[in-house]
């Protein structure tokens, strides 16, 4: 398992640098750096912490709709890639553990999990259940009863 404290510290450092130097610096220097070294199409690169830091540090630096949409797509694509290749779920668990502590992004994680429940691949649904386990510890009880419980009922009726 990846060290959560190290990931948190690195993510916060990236966010601080991004916010200190501003949005243009983030767009021109930081984001392209991670984009070129961290494509979610390579099995070797997906195992690295850089993959997690791109989501938790770079994509979580700003909360505009465009960045939120990019973060959502990035995490969803990561879930599909990791599940389809039957890689370790540790990368996704590290992302969910770090991003889920920020209330601004919990709805993104929940929407990804809800959408993943209808995936035809049983491995995706299995990983989704494991990620729900992490998410349950991070969100408040009202969110659980309104958003997570209906999704878990759907998952419980799955034959696979």
Any idea of the CA torsion for 89, 81, 10, 22, to the nearest 10 degrees?
-150
pLDDT at 1: 46
Q: Is-contact 91 46, C-beta < 8 A?
A: yes
Q: How many domains is the chain partitioned into structurally?
A: 1
| Digit-coded pLDDT (tens) for 16-52 | 988 888 888 888 888 887 766 555 555 554 456 777 8
Question: What's the domain range around 106?
Answer: 4-156
pLDDT class for 160, splitting at 50, 70, 90? low
């Amino acid at each position: 398992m990846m060290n959560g404290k190290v990931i948190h510290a690195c993510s916060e450092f990236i966010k601080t640098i991004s916010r200190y130097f501003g949005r243009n610096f983030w767009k021109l220097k930081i984001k392209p750096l991670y984009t070129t070294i961290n494509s979610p199409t390579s099995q070797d690169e997906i195992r690295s912490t850089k993959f997690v830091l791109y989501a938790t540090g770079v994509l979580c630096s700003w909360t505009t709709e465009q960045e939120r949409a990019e973060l959502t797509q990035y995490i969803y694509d990561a879930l599909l890639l990791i599940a389809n290749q039957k890689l370790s779920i540790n990368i996704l668990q590290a992302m969910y553990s770090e991003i889920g502590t920020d209330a601004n992004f919990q709805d993104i994680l929940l929407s990804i999990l809800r959408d993943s429940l209808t995936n035809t691949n049983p491995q995706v649904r299995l990983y989704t259940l494991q990620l729900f386990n992490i998410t349950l510890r991070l969100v408040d009880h009202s969110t659980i009863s309104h958003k997570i419980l209906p999704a878990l009922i759907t998952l419980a009726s799955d034959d696979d």
